[in-house]
Amino acid sequence: MRTFIKTAGILLLLGTMFRPPIVLAEDTKINSEQLERLLNRLEQAEKRIQELEETKPVTPPATPQPVPSLPPKLERAAGGLDDSDEMLINNYTDDSGSPAFETRLSTLEEDWKKFSESEQEKKAKDASKATTLKVFGRIHLDAWNFSDSTPGIAAFNNPGDPMDPENRFEFRRLRIGVGGDIKDNMLYKFEYDFGDPGDPAFKDVYIGWKDLPVFQTLLIGNQKRPLGMDHLNSSRYNWFMERPLVIEAFNEDARRLGICAYGVSEEETWNWRYGIFNLENIAGDGKYVGDAGQMSVNGRFAGTPWYDETSGGRGYLHLAIADMWANPDGDTTGSGSNNNEGRFRTRPEARTGSTRWLDTGRIAGADWFNTLGFEAMLTVGSFSVVSEYQVTYLGRGAEGPDLTFEGAYVEAGYFLTGEYQPIDRKSGTIGRIKPLENFFMVNTCDGETGGGWGAWQVVARYSYLDLSEGNITGGDERNFTFGMNWWWNSHSRVQFNYVHAQIDDRGPVDGYTGGRSDIFGARFMVDF
């Protein structure tokens, strides 16, 4: 039945589209355009026949009838035609005199063969995808001026040999790294910092897996502990030259050797990190040697319950909570490799020497501590405000009562040139600023180039930290910082900071328990 319907449809179509057979005998050639139209009509007729067959009532299969044997190509093209149909179709030739349908069919088969081969090659290439490699880096060049410091500051800065903090001109960061993917779902990253040529240190060094069930992404190696938004933010994007007091004190240098899982909800509203880390910072020597363990369990849950999709994120609310349970060894001797990691210290939100102006020292008997952090950030257009509070509870057994240390900061920023601070909803961290126009060379509407102003942002911050309780007198500090950020383009900028620092309740150093300092800083930075 199907062959009969197809044959009738094709004969009817041919009878309506072309001249009678007597005329065709005199002129059997048709041009390519006519041939193409014929083929299209044949395809449409076959589709219609197939639709009719699919809608007709189901009947018992008829006894197969022998049909003339056709060449495979013609049978596939015509769907099973008899000899008269075959003869009629083959009467039509192309411009070269070859059978038009045979020529067209051969071309289609050749094209299909090439397509199939290319698809197979693509699948084979994807299956054996090689490891990717991306080179990246950053350069931060700093200048610091300690214009006015009291004698107490001099003692805190250089105990035993008091002198005013010296001005500094240095590479704060000079990093180079590589990263990429490894077949099939692995990734890697290796980053080294040569900012201090005499003491280079590695930063992110890990391997991992992505697209995992339950864990989503899992990283093993040296990486940031999930505690504090400002520390999780990249130094490429932070508003100030140095991080707040509390962030540096409770999560000094941030990175530790460990294993950490990273996850995000399907709609990217919520994200989380959790893992286990060693407490000792091994960035310099690359290893941990000891029997004490000194581990911490870290976790952070963050989200953007309000995010303005319409404006592309020019308005949002970020909230997060983080926690760290740590188990230092309690040793206070400072000997061997098992140094007690129950210690909290920080610089004054400016780059000084190796000494910290606030320092608890290694707390005798410290065998556990818990750091709890809260954070919030609100962005409305060009204005943003962010704040964090962290508190640390420490137990030291028979050495004395439990201790409590705390700190917080609040900072605000406003773009004078109309930009806004984007946020990465997958990680709960701020992203890269994209100036509305770049500094130096800018493409204009008429196709020429002209000068732009870049992006300008004014920022201000208040921060405090209290590391004194009981017989532990690490000191407390309150800072006011004002700054200006000037983005030349999305990958380079200049920063200016003024810090007013006030320290009190510090354990006596050369007889001083407090002091004041005014500090000016500038940075040129570029990343790639």
Per-residue pLDDT at 260: 98
Return all residues near 265 (Cβ < 8 A) that are at least 6 apart: 271, 303
Determine if the peptide bond prior to 184 is cis (ω within 30°).
yes
CA 431 to each of CA 159, 421, 494: distance values in angstroms, whole numbers, following the listed order:
40, 7, 17
Per-residue pLDDT at 282: 92
Per-residue pLDDT at 95: 57
194 in a structural domain: no
Same domain? 370 vs 489:
yes
Dist CA 313 CA 444 (whole Å): 26
Helix (H, G, I), strand (E, B) or coil at 272: strand
30 in a structural domain: yes
Same domain? 232 vs 353:
yes
Same domain? 510 vs 467:
yes
201 in a structural domain: no
Same domain? 153 vs 301:
yes
pLDDT in tens, 198-231: 889 999 999 999 999 999 999 999 999 999 999 9
Same domain? 115 vs 176:
no
Return the H-helix or E-strand segment holding 145.
strand 134-149
Domain boundary among 93, 127, 161: 127
Domain count along the chain: 2
Does residue 348 contact residue 501 with C-beta atoms inside 8 Å?
yes
Same domain? 24 vs 168:
no
213 in a structural domain: no
Interior angle at CA 397, CA 325 and CA 334, nearest 5: 80
Per-residue pLDDT at 92: 53
Same domain? 108 vs 249:
no
CB neighbour burial string for 116-129, b if at least 16 within 10 angstroms, e if fewer: eeeeeeeeeeeeee
Same domain? 161 vs 47:
no
What pTM, to 2 d.p., does this model score?
0.75
192 in a structural domain: no
Domain boundary among 127, 161, 195: 127
Q: Among 363, 452, 433, which Cα is nearest to 399's?
A: 363
Per-residue pLDDT at 24: 40
Per-residue pLDDT at 9: 47
> Phi/psi at 187 (nearest 5 deg)?
-145, 165
Please report the beta strands in 225-343, taking only residues with DSSP state E, as ranges in sequence order.
255-264, 270-278, 295-307, 315-326
CATH number, domain with residue 484 = 2.40.160.10
pLDDT in tens, 457-510: 999 999 999 999 999 999 999 999 999 999 999 999 999 999 999 999 999 998
Same domain? 73 vs 147:
no
In the chain, which stretches have pLDDT less than 70?
Answer: 1-35, 38, 45, 52-53, 55-104, 124-129, 334-338, 441-444
147 in a structural domain: yes
Domain boundary among 95, 127, 159: 127
Please tell me what DSSP assigns to residue 102.
Answer: H
16 in a structural domain: yes
Structural domain including 38 reads: 2-127
Structure tokens at 296: 């911490």
Q: Among 468, 473, 479, which Cα is nearest to 509's?
A: 473
Helix (H, G, I), strand (E, B) or coil at 284: coil
Does residue 102 contact residue 91 with C-beta atoms inside 8 Å?
no
Same domain? 142 vs 10:
no
Q: At what angle do helices 100-127 and 83-90 cross, to 10 degrees?
A: 90
Same domain? 68 vs 146:
no
> How deeply is 499 buried, as exposed, middle or buried, from its count of CB atoms within 10 A (0-12, 13-18, 19+)?
buried
222 in a structural domain: no
Residue 446, number of CB atoms within 10 A of its CB:
6
Dist CA 246 CA 240 (whole Å): 14
Same domain? 323 vs 232:
yes
